[in-house]
Chain A
Amino acid sequence: MSLQWLRQRERGSWIAIQFMVWVALRLGRPAARTLLYPICVYYAVFSGRARRAIRQFLHRVLGRRISWRDLFHHYHCFASTILDRFYLLAGQHHRFQVDVQGAELLTNYLNRGQGCILLGSHLGSFEIVRAIGMSRRDLEIKVLLYEENAPMIREVVRSLNPQVADTVLSVGAPDTMLQVKDCLDRGGQVGIMGDRLVQHHQTTLCKFFGTLARFPTGTMRLTSVLKAPVILFFGLYRGGNRYEVHFELFAEQVILDREHRDQQIQQWTQRYADRLEYYCRLAPDNWFNFYDFWSER
Protein backbone atom coordinates (compact mmCIF):
# COMPACT_ATOMS: atom_id res chain seq x y z
CA MET A 1 0.00 0.00 0.00
CA SER A 2 2.80 2.38 0.83
CA LEU A 3 3.93 2.51 -2.78
CA GLN A 4 0.42 2.88 -4.04
CA TRP A 5 0.90 6.32 -5.52
CA LEU A 6 3.76 5.00 -7.60
CA ARG A 7 1.59 2.40 -9.23
CA GLN A 8 -1.73 4.15 -9.36
CA ARG A 9 -1.53 5.40 -12.92
CA GLU A 10 -0.35 2.33 -14.71
CA ARG A 11 1.34 3.51 -17.88
CA GLY A 12 1.81 7.16 -16.94
CA SER A 13 3.53 6.20 -13.73
CA TRP A 14 5.78 3.69 -15.42
CA ILE A 15 7.22 6.36 -17.67
CA ALA A 16 7.46 8.74 -14.70
CA ILE A 17 9.39 6.19 -12.63
CA GLN A 18 11.78 5.43 -15.49
CA PHE A 19 12.30 9.15 -15.94
CA MET A 20 12.97 9.63 -12.22
CA VAL A 21 15.46 6.75 -12.21
CA TRP A 22 17.19 8.32 -15.20
CA VAL A 23 17.32 11.77 -13.59
CA ALA A 24 18.47 10.28 -10.29
CA LEU A 25 21.32 8.25 -11.71
CA ARG A 26 22.37 10.54 -14.56
CA LEU A 27 21.86 14.04 -13.21
CA GLY A 28 22.50 13.32 -9.55
CA ARG A 29 20.67 13.60 -6.27
CA PRO A 30 20.37 17.43 -6.02
CA ALA A 31 18.67 17.59 -9.43
CA ALA A 32 16.40 14.67 -8.61
CA ARG A 33 15.48 16.17 -5.25
CA THR A 34 14.47 19.40 -6.95
CA LEU A 35 12.01 17.38 -9.00
CA LEU A 36 10.49 15.98 -5.81
CA TYR A 37 8.93 19.38 -5.05
CA PRO A 38 6.47 19.51 -7.95
CA ILE A 39 5.82 15.77 -7.58
CA CYS A 40 4.95 16.17 -3.91
CA VAL A 41 2.74 19.18 -4.56
CA TYR A 42 0.92 17.18 -7.20
CA TYR A 43 0.32 14.20 -4.93
CA ALA A 44 -0.52 16.33 -1.91
CA VAL A 45 -3.25 18.00 -3.95
CA PHE A 46 -4.61 15.04 -5.90
CA SER A 47 -4.34 12.03 -3.58
CA GLY A 48 -7.33 12.73 -1.36
CA ARG A 49 -7.49 9.40 0.41
CA ALA A 50 -3.80 9.29 1.26
CA ARG A 51 -3.84 12.93 2.32
CA ARG A 52 -6.72 12.37 4.72
CA ALA A 53 -4.94 9.32 6.17
CA ILE A 54 -1.73 11.27 6.74
CA ARG A 55 -3.62 14.16 8.28
CA GLN A 56 -5.45 11.79 10.62
CA PHE A 57 -2.23 10.03 11.61
CA LEU A 58 -0.29 13.23 12.26
CA HIS A 59 -3.16 14.65 14.24
CA ARG A 60 -3.19 11.58 16.50
CA VAL A 61 0.58 11.75 17.05
CA LEU A 62 1.09 15.49 17.32
CA GLY A 63 -2.28 16.40 18.81
CA ARG A 64 -2.53 19.66 16.92
CA ARG A 65 -3.98 21.07 13.74
CA ILE A 66 -2.17 19.71 10.70
CA SER A 67 -1.22 22.30 8.11
CA TRP A 68 -0.49 21.97 4.39
CA ARG A 69 3.11 22.48 5.31
CA ASP A 70 3.04 19.35 7.51
CA LEU A 71 1.40 17.38 4.73
CA PHE A 72 3.87 18.55 2.12
CA HIS A 73 6.75 17.67 4.44
CA HIS A 74 5.30 14.20 4.91
CA TYR A 75 5.04 13.57 1.17
CA HIS A 76 8.51 14.94 0.68
CA CYS A 77 9.90 12.61 3.30
CA PHE A 78 8.27 9.62 1.62
CA ALA A 79 9.36 10.68 -1.86
CA SER A 80 12.93 11.17 -0.61
CA THR A 81 13.12 7.60 0.67
CA ILE A 82 11.74 6.28 -2.63
CA LEU A 83 14.33 8.30 -4.54
CA ASP A 84 17.08 7.07 -2.23
CA ARG A 85 16.01 3.50 -2.90
CA PHE A 86 17.24 4.00 -6.46
CA TYR A 87 20.69 4.99 -5.20
CA LEU A 88 20.83 2.19 -2.66
CA LEU A 89 19.76 -0.33 -5.29
CA ALA A 90 22.41 1.05 -7.61
CA GLY A 91 24.97 0.40 -4.86
CA GLN A 92 25.69 4.07 -4.10
CA HIS A 93 25.72 3.68 -0.33
CA HIS A 94 28.47 6.26 0.05
CA ARG A 95 25.94 9.03 -0.57
CA PHE A 96 24.34 8.50 2.81
CA GLN A 97 25.26 9.21 6.34
CA VAL A 98 23.81 6.33 8.33
CA ASP A 99 23.80 6.27 12.09
CA VAL A 100 23.28 2.67 13.18
CA GLN A 101 22.23 1.81 16.71
CA GLY A 102 22.20 -1.69 18.15
CA ALA A 103 24.00 -3.34 15.24
CA GLU A 104 26.15 -5.42 17.60
CA LEU A 105 23.00 -7.16 18.77
CA LEU A 106 22.45 -8.53 15.31
CA THR A 107 26.08 -9.29 14.51
CA ASN A 108 26.50 -11.22 17.77
CA TYR A 109 23.82 -13.65 16.67
CA LEU A 110 24.94 -13.84 13.08
CA ASN A 111 28.59 -14.42 13.97
CA ARG A 112 27.49 -17.41 16.02
CA GLY A 113 25.71 -18.77 12.97
CA GLN A 114 22.31 -18.09 14.46
CA GLY A 115 19.77 -16.98 11.88
CA CYS A 116 17.63 -13.96 12.82
CA ILE A 117 14.20 -12.65 12.02
CA LEU A 118 14.25 -8.93 11.37
CA LEU A 119 10.89 -7.45 12.16
CA GLY A 120 10.12 -4.09 10.59
CA SER A 121 7.22 -1.94 9.52
CA HIS A 122 6.22 0.70 7.03
CA LEU A 123 7.76 3.35 9.24
CA GLY A 124 10.77 4.71 7.39
CA SER A 125 12.86 2.99 4.76
CA PHE A 126 13.52 -0.73 4.80
CA GLU A 127 15.86 -0.32 1.84
CA ILE A 128 18.49 1.35 4.00
CA VAL A 129 18.31 -1.61 6.39
CA ARG A 130 18.47 -4.11 3.55
CA ALA A 131 21.52 -2.25 2.25
CA ILE A 132 23.22 -2.72 5.64
CA GLY A 133 22.20 -6.38 5.68
CA MET A 134 23.55 -6.98 2.23
CA SER A 135 26.89 -5.44 3.07
CA ARG A 136 27.64 -8.75 4.83
CA ARG A 137 28.27 -10.62 1.64
CA ASP A 138 28.83 -13.87 3.47
CA LEU A 139 25.30 -13.91 4.81
CA GLU A 140 22.10 -14.80 3.13
CA ILE A 141 19.23 -12.34 3.34
CA LYS A 142 15.60 -12.76 2.37
CA VAL A 143 12.78 -10.27 2.59
CA LEU A 144 9.13 -11.19 2.76
CA LEU A 145 7.35 -8.43 0.94
CA TYR A 146 3.84 -7.76 -0.05
CA GLU A 147 4.21 -4.60 -2.08
CA GLU A 148 6.87 -6.13 -4.24
CA ASN A 149 4.10 -8.14 -5.77
CA ALA A 150 3.41 -4.94 -7.67
CA PRO A 151 4.94 -5.86 -11.02
CA MET A 152 6.04 -2.31 -11.77
CA ILE A 153 8.10 -1.82 -8.63
CA ARG A 154 9.50 -5.31 -8.95
CA GLU A 155 10.63 -4.51 -12.46
CA VAL A 156 12.33 -1.28 -11.37
CA VAL A 157 14.11 -3.11 -8.56
CA ARG A 158 15.16 -5.91 -10.89
CA SER A 159 16.48 -3.53 -13.52
CA LEU A 160 18.56 -1.65 -10.94
CA ASN A 161 19.81 -4.60 -8.95
CA PRO A 162 18.89 -8.19 -9.82
CA GLN A 163 20.74 -9.43 -6.75
CA VAL A 164 18.48 -7.41 -4.46
CA ALA A 165 15.42 -8.49 -6.43
CA ASP A 166 16.38 -12.11 -5.72
CA THR A 167 16.22 -11.50 -1.98
CA VAL A 168 12.47 -10.96 -2.16
CA LEU A 169 10.17 -13.81 -1.27
CA SER A 170 6.64 -13.05 -2.29
CA VAL A 171 4.06 -13.91 0.26
CA GLY A 172 1.46 -16.50 -0.56
CA ALA A 173 2.88 -19.68 -2.11
CA PRO A 174 2.75 -22.80 0.11
CA ASP A 175 6.54 -23.12 0.07
CA THR A 176 7.33 -19.47 0.93
CA MET A 177 7.70 -20.03 4.65
CA LEU A 178 9.74 -23.19 4.09
CA GLN A 179 12.19 -21.02 2.19
CA VAL A 180 12.21 -18.63 5.12
CA LYS A 181 12.98 -21.50 7.48
CA ASP A 182 15.74 -22.81 5.22
CA CYS A 183 17.34 -19.37 5.11
CA LEU A 184 17.31 -19.12 8.93
CA ASP A 185 18.67 -22.65 9.28
CA ARG A 186 21.62 -21.60 7.14
CA GLY A 187 22.27 -18.75 9.57
CA GLY A 188 20.76 -16.06 7.36
CA GLN A 189 18.50 -13.10 8.02
CA VAL A 190 14.86 -12.80 7.09
CA GLY A 191 13.08 -9.46 7.02
CA ILE A 192 9.35 -9.25 7.58
CA MET A 193 6.92 -6.37 8.02
CA GLY A 194 4.74 -6.63 11.09
CA ASP A 195 2.15 -4.04 10.20
CA ARG A 196 1.01 -5.76 7.02
CA LEU A 197 1.48 -9.41 6.37
CA VAL A 198 0.06 -12.35 4.48
CA GLN A 199 -3.49 -12.96 5.56
CA HIS A 200 -5.35 -9.76 6.08
CA HIS A 201 -8.42 -11.46 7.46
CA GLN A 202 -6.44 -12.92 10.34
CA THR A 203 -5.99 -9.96 12.59
CA THR A 204 -5.93 -9.03 16.22
CA LEU A 205 -6.86 -5.74 17.86
CA CYS A 206 -4.07 -3.78 19.52
CA LYS A 207 -4.00 -0.40 21.12
CA PHE A 208 -2.10 1.98 18.90
CA PHE A 209 -1.94 5.65 19.87
CA GLY A 210 -4.76 5.06 22.31
CA THR A 211 -7.20 3.56 19.83
CA LEU A 212 -7.66 -0.07 18.76
CA ALA A 213 -6.22 -0.93 15.36
CA ARG A 214 -6.02 -4.22 13.48
CA PHE A 215 -2.64 -5.90 13.22
CA PRO A 216 -1.96 -9.15 11.37
CA THR A 217 -1.56 -12.24 13.56
CA GLY A 218 0.63 -13.89 10.93
CA THR A 219 3.78 -12.18 12.20
CA MET A 220 3.70 -13.75 15.65
CA ARG A 221 2.42 -17.08 14.36
CA LEU A 222 5.35 -17.19 11.96
CA THR A 223 8.00 -16.12 14.45
CA SER A 224 6.77 -18.70 16.97
CA VAL A 225 7.00 -21.51 14.42
CA LEU A 226 10.46 -20.42 13.30
CA LYS A 227 11.85 -20.35 16.85
CA ALA A 228 14.58 -17.84 15.96
CA PRO A 229 15.51 -14.57 17.70
CA VAL A 230 13.38 -11.64 16.61
CA ILE A 231 15.05 -8.27 16.17
CA LEU A 232 13.11 -5.11 15.53
CA PHE A 233 14.44 -2.68 12.96
CA PHE A 234 13.56 0.84 11.94
CA GLY A 235 15.32 2.78 9.18
CA LEU A 236 14.31 6.37 9.87
CA TYR A 237 14.91 9.09 7.32
CA ARG A 238 16.17 12.22 9.01
CA GLY A 239 16.31 14.72 6.16
CA GLY A 240 19.14 15.58 3.79
CA ASN A 241 21.24 12.46 3.30
CA ARG A 242 20.86 11.24 6.87
CA TYR A 243 19.37 7.98 8.04
CA GLU A 244 19.09 6.54 11.50
CA VAL A 245 18.85 2.76 11.79
CA HIS A 246 17.70 1.16 15.02
CA PHE A 247 18.01 -2.50 15.93
CA GLU A 248 16.37 -3.73 19.10
CA LEU A 249 15.82 -7.19 20.56
CA PHE A 250 12.15 -8.05 20.45
CA ALA A 251 12.38 -11.62 21.75
CA GLU A 252 14.94 -14.41 22.02
CA GLN A 253 12.08 -16.57 20.90
CA VAL A 254 8.35 -16.01 20.59
CA ILE A 255 6.67 -18.88 22.41
CA LEU A 256 2.95 -19.54 22.17
CA ASP A 257 1.32 -22.18 24.25
CA ARG A 258 -1.51 -24.09 22.69
CA GLU A 259 -4.16 -23.30 25.27
CA HIS A 260 -3.79 -19.54 25.36
CA ARG A 261 -2.63 -19.15 21.81
CA ASP A 262 -4.96 -16.38 20.63
CA GLN A 263 -4.50 -14.38 23.79
CA GLN A 264 -0.71 -14.67 23.60
CA ILE A 265 -0.65 -13.73 19.94
CA GLN A 266 -2.53 -10.60 20.93
CA GLN A 267 -0.06 -9.84 23.74
CA TRP A 268 3.02 -10.28 21.54
CA THR A 269 1.43 -8.22 18.79
CA GLN A 270 0.59 -5.52 21.32
CA ARG A 271 4.26 -5.41 22.31
CA TYR A 272 5.15 -4.87 18.70
CA ALA A 273 2.50 -2.15 18.37
CA ASP A 274 3.92 -0.42 21.47
CA ARG A 275 7.43 -0.35 20.02
CA LEU A 276 6.08 0.83 16.70
CA GLU A 277 4.26 3.64 18.48
CA TYR A 278 7.46 4.60 20.28
CA TYR A 279 9.39 4.92 17.02
CA CYS A 280 6.46 6.68 15.34
CA ARG A 281 6.78 9.39 17.96
CA LEU A 282 10.49 9.72 17.15
CA ALA A 283 9.74 10.24 13.47
CA PRO A 284 6.06 10.75 12.66
CA ASP A 285 6.99 12.01 9.19
CA ASN A 286 8.27 8.50 8.40
CA TRP A 287 4.84 6.86 8.59
CA PHE A 288 4.24 5.41 5.15
CA ASN A 289 0.98 3.56 5.63
CA PHE A 290 -1.16 5.85 3.50
CA TYR A 291 -4.56 4.49 4.40
CA ASP A 292 -6.79 4.68 7.45
CA PHE A 293 -4.81 2.46 9.78
CA TRP A 294 -7.61 2.35 12.35
CA SER A 295 -10.26 1.43 9.85
CA GLU A 296 -12.69 -1.29 10.98
CA ARG A 297 -12.40 -3.15 7.70
Chain B
Amino acid sequence: MALTDALPIETEVAKLIVQTLNLKIDPAQIQPEQPLFGEGLGLDSIDALELSLAISQSYGYQIRSDDPEIVATFASLRSLCKSIEKNRTK
Protein backbone atom coordinates (compact mmCIF):
# COMPACT_ATOMS: atom_id res chain seq x y z
CA MET B 1 0.00 0.00 0.00
CA ALA B 2 1.36 3.39 -0.93
CA LEU B 3 1.63 6.18 1.57
CA THR B 4 -1.42 8.01 0.29
CA ASP B 5 -2.53 9.08 3.75
CA ALA B 6 0.93 10.01 5.00
CA LEU B 7 1.47 13.60 6.13
CA PRO B 8 4.50 15.49 4.79
CA ILE B 9 6.27 15.25 8.14
CA GLU B 10 5.70 11.50 8.15
CA THR B 11 7.32 11.10 4.76
CA GLU B 12 10.24 13.16 6.01
CA VAL B 13 10.70 11.23 9.27
CA ALA B 14 10.30 7.89 7.49
CA LYS B 15 13.22 8.93 5.31
CA LEU B 16 15.22 9.89 8.40
CA ILE B 17 14.51 6.50 10.00
CA VAL B 18 15.64 4.55 6.96
CA GLN B 19 18.73 6.69 6.51
CA THR B 20 19.78 6.74 10.16
CA LEU B 21 19.31 3.05 10.76
CA ASN B 22 20.58 1.91 7.40
CA LEU B 23 17.39 -0.03 6.74
CA LYS B 24 17.17 -1.88 3.47
CA ILE B 25 13.63 -0.71 2.73
CA ASP B 26 11.89 2.10 0.88
CA PRO B 27 10.75 4.82 3.34
CA ALA B 28 7.32 4.72 1.70
CA GLN B 29 6.92 1.18 3.00
CA ILE B 30 6.68 2.36 6.59
CA GLN B 31 2.99 2.57 7.43
CA PRO B 32 2.17 5.53 9.70
CA GLU B 33 0.27 3.37 12.18
CA GLN B 34 2.58 0.35 12.06
CA PRO B 35 4.43 -0.37 15.35
CA LEU B 36 8.07 0.69 15.09
CA PHE B 37 9.30 -1.89 17.58
CA GLY B 38 9.00 -5.63 17.83
CA GLU B 39 6.38 -7.08 15.52
CA GLY B 40 6.10 -4.09 13.20
CA LEU B 41 9.26 -2.58 11.76
CA GLY B 42 11.33 -4.65 14.17
CA LEU B 43 13.43 -1.89 15.67
CA ASP B 44 15.18 -2.42 19.01
CA SER B 45 16.22 -0.15 21.83
CA ILE B 46 19.60 0.59 20.24
CA ASP B 47 17.75 1.80 17.15
CA ALA B 48 15.58 3.94 19.41
CA LEU B 49 18.68 5.58 20.83
CA GLU B 50 20.18 6.20 17.41
CA LEU B 51 16.90 7.58 16.16
CA SER B 52 16.53 9.87 19.17
CA LEU B 53 19.96 11.35 18.49
CA ALA B 54 19.10 11.91 14.83
CA ILE B 55 15.78 13.54 15.74
CA SER B 56 17.52 15.79 18.23
CA GLN B 57 19.93 16.85 15.50
CA SER B 58 17.33 17.41 12.78
CA TYR B 59 14.50 18.90 14.83
CA GLY B 60 16.13 20.10 18.04
CA TYR B 61 13.79 17.86 19.98
CA GLN B 62 15.55 15.95 22.71
CA ILE B 63 13.68 12.82 23.70
CA ARG B 64 14.43 12.21 27.35
CA SER B 65 14.52 8.81 29.01
CA ASP B 66 12.47 10.10 31.95
CA ASP B 67 9.68 11.34 29.68
CA PRO B 68 6.56 9.44 30.84
CA GLU B 69 5.24 9.52 27.26
CA ILE B 70 8.27 7.85 25.78
CA VAL B 71 6.71 4.48 25.03
CA ALA B 72 3.73 6.17 23.39
CA THR B 73 6.06 8.42 21.40
CA PHE B 74 7.89 5.47 19.91
CA ALA B 75 4.72 3.46 19.25
CA SER B 76 4.46 4.33 15.56
CA LEU B 77 5.68 6.74 12.91
CA ARG B 78 2.50 8.79 13.41
CA SER B 79 2.91 9.11 17.18
CA LEU B 80 6.58 9.92 16.77
CA CYS B 81 5.78 12.69 14.28
CA LYS B 82 3.12 14.13 16.58
CA SER B 83 5.71 14.40 19.35
CA ILE B 84 8.23 15.95 16.97
CA GLU B 85 5.71 18.57 15.79
CA LYS B 86 4.82 19.41 19.38
CA ASN B 87 8.41 19.70 20.64
CA ARG B 88 10.54 20.71 17.69
CA THR B 89 12.71 23.80 17.96
CA LYS B 90 13.96 23.78 14.40
What's the dominant secondary structure at chain A's contact region? helix
| Measured CA separation A181–B52 after assembly (Å) | 11
Q: Mark B58-70, 1 if CB is under 8 A from A, else 0.
A: 0000011111001
Chain A: interface residue total (CB-CB under 8 A): 22
- Of the listed residues A177, A181, A218, A222, the one surrounded by the most CB atoms of chain B closer than 10 A to its CB is A177
Residues of A within 8 A of B50 (CB): 225
Kindly identify, within residues 15 to 69 of chain B, every residue whose CB is under 8 Å from any CB belonging to chain A.
22, 37, 44-46, 48-50, 52-53, 63-67
Among A124-132, A167-175, A205-213, the stretch that binds chain B is A167-175
Contact B49 A180 (CB under 8 A): yes
The answer to whether A178 touches B63 (Cβ under 8 A) is yes
Look across to chain B and name the residue whose beta carbon is closest to the beta carbon of A258.
B22
Q: Which residue of A lies closest to B65 (CB)?
A: A178
The answer to the question of A97 belonging to the interface, with a C-beta cut-off of 8 Å to chain B, is no
Chain A minimum-CB-distance residue to B63: A178
Q: How far is the CA of A193 from the CA of B46 in the complex (A)?
A: 15
Contact in complex: B45, A198 (CB < 8 Å): yes
Is B71 among interface residues, defined by CB-CB distance under 8 A?
yes
Cα distance, A221 to B37, chains bound together (Å): 17
Instruction: Tell me if A47 is interfacial: C-beta within 8 Å of chain B.
Output: no
List residues of B whose CB falls within 8 A of some A CB.
22, 37, 44-46, 48-50, 52-53, 63-67, 70-71, 74
A-B pairs with beta carbons under 8 Å apart, 11 shown: A173-B71, A174-B45, A175-B45, A175-B65, A177-B46, A178-B48, A179-B65, A180-B49, A181-B49, A202-B44, A225-B50
